Amino acid sequence: MARILIIGSLEAELGTAARIAAARGARLAVAEGAAAGLERLRGEGADLVLCDVMHDVAWLIDQMAAERMACPVVACGRPDDADGAVRAIRAGAKDFLPLPPDPDLIAAMLQAVAGDPERPVVRDQAMASLLARAEQVARAEASVLIMGESGTGKEVLARHIHAASRRARGPFVALNCAALPEALLESELFGHEKGAFSGAVASRRGKFEQAEGGTLLLDEIGEMDPRLQAKILRAIQEREIDRLGGSAPVKVDVRILAATHRDLASEVARGRFREDLYFRLAVVRLRIPALRERPGDILPLARHFAKRYARANGLPQRGLAPAAEAVLMAHPWPGNVRELENTLHRAVLLAEGSSIGPEAIDMLEHLPAIAPDAVPLPVALPVAPPAKPVSALVGRRMEEVERDLILETLSHCLGNRTRAAEMLGISIRTLRNKLHEYRAAGVTVPPIPGQPPFALPVG
Ligand SMILES: Nc1ncnc2c1ncn2[C@@H]1O[C@H](COP(=O)(O)OP(=O)(O)OP(=O)(O)O)[C@@H](O)[C@H]1O
């Protein structure tokens, strides 16, 4: 369940955004202004902040950075307030949500921060027995280590364990340990006292305290620095944590789930992961098979995503043609469920007939990530439909291929930045920076839907 902090008045159109988010299961908190919002973030944290551009978004973002808070901020305002939008984006807002809000955009934002609230789709026997085991261990209090390749559904499984546990009514808090530099990760996890570092003007509770009575997922734990590994071990063993700069430990009642795509046992053997922490975390180990190891899940998942993305895009529901099913079954899915999801998202947008045919199944080739600040690429660049093998791209410059892919994806998404970034597996900010570069080089960029092309010069 996503925890959203809304900064602004609910009487205006922001209230509509709040109602849509609440109807989709988000847990809401409201603050009247940026200072009050910051105060709530120090206390309870949030997965996402929606801030009306009437308030000082730039101050809020600066303050959050100074206090080492990593939560994304989305600015909201009238679509004709281009100045407000530009200011907010320049200040570091992740996105601009035009009001009145588009329910699909809110759904996409919620999904991006909190994953899919639905039950995992499972058909293959390998996965069904894993799910049964997960439900069985959910009721215990032991830590669980979830292993599996990237995109196999580790976070989905963690949420399922939380939902099936006695802590289901408590919060589920997730933190990606690979996404943050060490200092930021430390204060995200443990919080800090006033004066702990130069920007710490007030005390703040970290994720451990925010997850009180619930579950904390430490995603990509294999990437964690050994110093922080020691602190996590202490939190599990002693059930208490130390805020940065704190003088007394704080008791915490939190169940820890950890996920990794690495083979942690061999990380231990290489001296890169603490053995004692490994044994603490791995009381129960669940390994999610790669999608190619559970072919029985491919078509049920594909149908599920086809339905979901048709609904999200306001398109008619279409089934998969047998030839399209054959293409899906023949692919090895190195990017696992996330790759399948992106493929079906594209297919729903590309399909033209009464069913989704093989021509709409447009697999991506797997090349190394290009953008250095992109989120780990679940499916990599560039596009190579079956009729255009990757060899056709040989001789072209990487940045040129990347540009074509980005612009093409954006026009498939009818200019919708949030969806395009999601499909490309990069952050909205990376997408925006790229578009800005292209525009500066004189390339035509599809406008934001419902806005004139010049309204938002930053993309
Ligand atoms: N069984 C499933 N049913 C429905 N959706 C799924 C399932 N498994 C994965 N997904 C979807 O696939 C995407 C990737 O899943 P998830 O983020 O849980 O993978 P992950 O293994 O945690 O990835 P990473 O290692 O990159 O963090 C998500 O959008 C998720 O909703």
Q: Which of 111, 113, 116, 342 to mutate to test the pocket of ligand 1 (most atoms within 8 A of CB)?
A: 116
Cβ of 111 below 6 Å from ligand 1: no
**Ligand 1 centroid, distance to 150 Cα (angstroms):** 8
Cβ of 124 below 6 Å from ligand 1: no
Cβ of 204 below 6 Å from ligand 1: no
Domains and CATH numbers, the chain: 3-114 (3.40.50.2300), 125-289 (3.40.50.300), 292-362 (1.10.8.60), 364-459 (no CATH)
Tokens 């939380």 correspond to 162
Q: How far apart, in whole angstroms, are the C-alpha atoms of residue 285 and residue 137? A: 10
**Ligand 1 centroid, distance to 306 Cα (angstroms):** 16
Backbone torsion region of residue 9, taken as left when φ is above 0, otherwise alpha when ψ lies between -120 and 50, otherwise beta: beta
Q: With bands split at pLDDT 50, 70 and 90, how would you rate the model's confidence at 452?
A: very low
The structure tokens listed for 106 are 């809110």
Per-residue pLDDT, 29: 92
Cβ of 192 below 6 Å from ligand 1: no
Q: How far apart, in whole angstroms, are the C-alpha atoms of residue 459 and residue 349? A: 22
Percent of the chain with pLDDT over 90: 53
**Ligand 1 centroid, distance to 246 Cα (angstroms):** 37
Cβ atoms of residues 76 and 50 within 8 Å: yes
Cβ of 334 below 6 Å from ligand 1: no
Closest ligand 1 atom to Cα of 341: 12
Residues 6+ positions from 346 with CB-CB distance below 8 Å = 360, 362, 412, 423
Cβ of 338 below 6 Å from ligand 1: yes
Backbone phi and psi for residue 222, each to the nearest 5 degrees, phi listed first: -60, -15
pLDDT at 297 over 60: yes
Give the residue, by CA position, lying nearest to ligand 1 atom 12: 338
Which H helix or E strand runs over 329? Answer: helix 322-330
Q: Residues 306, 308, 309, 313: is their CA dihedral positive or negative?
A: positive
- Report the mean per-residue pLDDT for the chain: 85
Closest ligand 1 atom to Cα of 176: 27
Give the best-scoring range by mean pLDDT among 125-129, 372-376, 378-382, 406-410. Answer: 125-129
Distances (CA, A) of 423 to 47, 125, 356, 391: 21, 29, 18, 23
- Tally Cβ neighbours within 10 Å of residue 374: 19
In sequence order, the β-bridge partners of residue 49 are 5, 73
Give the residue, by CA position, lying nearest to ligand 1 atom 9: 153
Which H helix or E strand runs over 18? Answer: helix 14-23
Task: Render pLDDT for 334-384 as a digit per residue (tens, 0 to 9).
Answer: 999 999 999 999 999 888 889 999 999 987 655 443 333 333 323 222 233
Cβ atoms of residues 98 and 122 within 8 Å: no
Per-residue pLDDT, 155: 93
Per-residue pLDDT, 390: 53
Closest ligand 1 atom to Cα of 148: 21
The structure tokens listed for 455 are 């309204």
Mean pLDDT over 128-157 rounds to 94
**Ligand 1 centroid, distance to 452 Cα (angstroms):** 36
Task: Render pLDDT for 47-106 as a digit per residue (tens, 0 to 9).
Answer: 899 999 999 999 999 999 999 888 899 999 988 888 888 888 888 998 888 888 888 788
